[in-house]
Chains A and B, each alone.
Chain A
């Protein structure tokens, strides 16, 4: 090769290498003097991230010397990002996490306890279940932000076409209505009376857990799996009953990596009459159906099972936490920012900026003052059905090994959907897996 060309290439290569290595030595999250730089890791979509950035810039104006950077990753990557970035040199300071991950992150010393002032604030302004979901061993680890719960969404137009006036209140009514609402072609449903979801852990397990709760049961009692109890048996059998009646078509219920996919498309397209889902898919439904068709969607409390006394559902929360690996100045700056973000001064009319952000996505804020401030918005036909169940909602169990427990239960419930396991087999194996997973996690 000619020397001149080689020289040029060498210089170019050196430049590129230089650039790459300079990224490595760029100022990391550790600040030594007054200006503090913190980062906020989240999984929210771009519109919400834009709102958060706006709120952050408002805060930065009043607090010069603090810079806040927002980092967004897709939900499917959030947990792996949290774990692999935890000890990194340019690590995140604040993160929004799912409460199920809290015990293990605390066990691995990834998160830092909330300072007394912030902990007191949380205990004062949030409800009991939100506080306990944000605590481990009685110590508060972050600010709860969203609370999500499950209700029975149904399509009023399809109900009217099938001649059904009232949404179902009991399991028997649910099965009967589903049968009336199903249209079949060659043995498989083309219009689902009731839709199941698959290929997504929460979409499979949470509706099941909601039905179980409405039957007076629980997934875990006193730290031990209760999938072999009477309430659970009835729930497994009820699911089997719906599957056998072919009111659902499993291929219409698939979900993909970002919680969209056929299950969403089919409800949006009016091919699924009823489905148990959480409040946060409101924005997806709105954008998919348009305002006119979205007005046909309503929410009713989970139908009550034979062993249940009243309608119950399950809920889970997200919370914002602080990284233990961040330096002290950053941790302090982070807690200060979080207190402001979740406080009544950051939003309008006594609401918080966080509350405003959440409500814009159709998500329920958990701070009591926010619930009051947004009461009108939360009274929409879609959300009212969820808000009314808040009091009766039981939190999804938050234990060590919770994620793995959910994955195992998902496996068996999906196997039922596709006819690979019967209710009995699924129940027996799910209980066995659960016992082994939870005891292993407790001893690690």
Chain B
């Protein structure tokens, strides 16, 4: 490449690479460094005291700090896993419904589904907290019509997290349905025809032909669901505040409480480090498993 070409390269890369470096990579480095210090978040960086692995030791200990963080990580994992288990199959099913049924009203369904993704999570959280109200909410009322006893939803530790998962599924389903439709559209009609000629029908066709061809879409969807799940914040902050008994305490909410509210910047950074390590491990495992599968 010519010298001026290289000049252009730098100019064109500078904005994005520069911005990402200053506002993502550098803070990331600071977080890594701060996890080895005791630091109160309002004070200047210079006042941080080196304490080595003390923060990590505290997180791994049996005290309240460790217990609360482990609970937050556990809750986040359950939240993510439950979301994946619900969203992926539903998105494929709805994708099929929208894509193949060739009903005009299916387009309306697609629009409605996708519109829920456009709505701010803050509004979603507030509305659903009213929907879930044990006595004044319509959800328990409808359950009553179906002969089911009213459920405690956000008021019990064993149901609160699940209630938030349903909220999450409702909001995100539209986006992943569209992705599923995209994946389905990419399957060449010729393959499906060939399979039909070979005698494959409906469920068999779907299971043995369609689904494997959707693998890339599902992998992508699964990863995005996980990334979104780790970032969940508004429903917890606006409705449950981590309760009851910490059943809805999730990592983003907890790290913010420790790092900003309690001002324990070093401890919060250590927690963030552990989160990144766990997340990287999971994503890497998923990629590895998918990579090995596709070699078959």
Contact = CB atoms under 8 A, between A and B. Distances in A.
Interface of A: 76, 79-80, 83-84, 86-87, 104, 107-110, 198-200, 250-254, 256-257, 262, 265, 403-404, 407-408, 411, 414-415, 417-418, 420, 432-433, 436-437, 444
Interface stretch (B13-21, B83-91, B127-135, B197-205): B127-135
A257 B129 CA distance: 11
B29 interface: no
Among the interface residues A79, A411, A444, which one has the most CB atoms of the partner chain B within 10 A? Answer: A411
Contact of B245 (A262, A265, A415): A415
Among the interface residues A86, A256, A420, which one has the most CB atoms of the partner chain B within 10 A? Answer: A256
Given A254-B154, A411-B246, 9 more contacts: A80-B261, A83-B261, A199-B243, A251-B152, A256-B129, A403-B261, A411-B68, A433-B63, A444-B38
B244 A83 contact: no
Given A76-B237, A257-B238, A411-B64, A87 B42 contact: yes
Interface in B171-201: none
A418 B63 contact: no
B247 to A, nearest CB: 9
A199 B243 CA distance: 5
A418 B245 contact: yes
B215 interface: no
A199 B241 contact: yes
B263 A408 contact: no
Interface string B127-149: 00100011110000000000000
Contact of B134 (A251, A403, A407, A433): A251
B161 to A, nearest CB: 13
A110 B42 contact: yes
Nearest to B263: A83
B235 to A, nearest CB: 10
Interface string B210-245: 000000000000000000000000000111110111
B263 A108 contact: yes
Contacts of A420: 157, 245
A83 B239 contact: no
Contact of B241 (A110, A251, A253, A257): A257
A250 B261 contact: no
A63 to B, nearest CB: 31
Interface of B: 38, 40-43, 63-64, 68, 129, 133-136, 152, 154-157, 237-241, 243-246, 256, 260-263
Contacts of B68: 411
Contacts of A444: 38, 40
B83 to A, nearest CB: 23
Contacts of A76: 237, 241
Contacts of B64: 404, 407-408, 411, 433, 436-437
B241 A254 contact: no
A250 B42 contact: no
Q: What 4 A-B pairs have minimum CB-CB distances, sorted nearest first?
A: A199-B243, A251-B155, A433-B64, A251-B152
A418 B244 contact: yes
A420 B243 CA distance: 14
Given A83-B261, A250-B156, A404-B262, A256 B63 contact: no
B272 to A, nearest CB: 17
A83 B156 contact: no
23 contacts: A76-B237, A83-B41, A83-B261, A83-B263, A86-B42, A108-B42, A200-B241, A200-B243, A250-B156, A256-B129, A256-B239, A257-B238, A262-B134, A403-B261, A404-B262, A411-B68, A414-B157, A414-B244, A414-B245, A418-B156, A418-B157, A433-B64, A436-B64
Nearest to A84: B260
Given A250-B155, A250-B156, A262-B155, A198 B42 contact: no
A418 B64 CA distance: 19
B244 A250 contact: yes
Contacts of B133: 262
Contacts of B63: 432-433, 436-437
Nearest to B243: A199
Contacts of B243: 198-200, 254, 414
Among the interface residues B38, B64, B136, B240, which one has the most CB atoms of the partner chain A within 10 A? Answer: B64
Nearest to B260: A80
B158 to A, nearest CB: 8
Contacts of A104: 263
B88 to A, nearest CB: 31
Nearest to B49: A444
Contacts of B244: 198-199, 250, 254, 414, 417-418
A265 B155 CA distance: 14
B218 to A, nearest CB: 36
Contacts of A254: 154-155, 243-244
Contact of A108 (B43, B155, B245, B256): B43
Contacts of A84: 41-42, 260
A107 B263 CA distance: 11
Contacts of A257: 237-239, 241
Contacts of A251: 134, 152, 155-156
A256 to B, nearest CB: 6
A404 B63 CA distance: 12
A265 B135 contact: yes
Contacts of B154: 254
Nearest to B239: A256
A198 B245 CA distance: 8
B7 to A, nearest CB: 23
B164 to A, nearest CB: 13
A200 B245 CA distance: 10
B262 A403 contact: yes
Given A110-B42, A251-B134, A83 B260 contact: yes
Nearest to B151: A251
A182 to B, nearest CB: 18
Contacts of B134: 251-252, 262
A51 B90 CA distance: 52
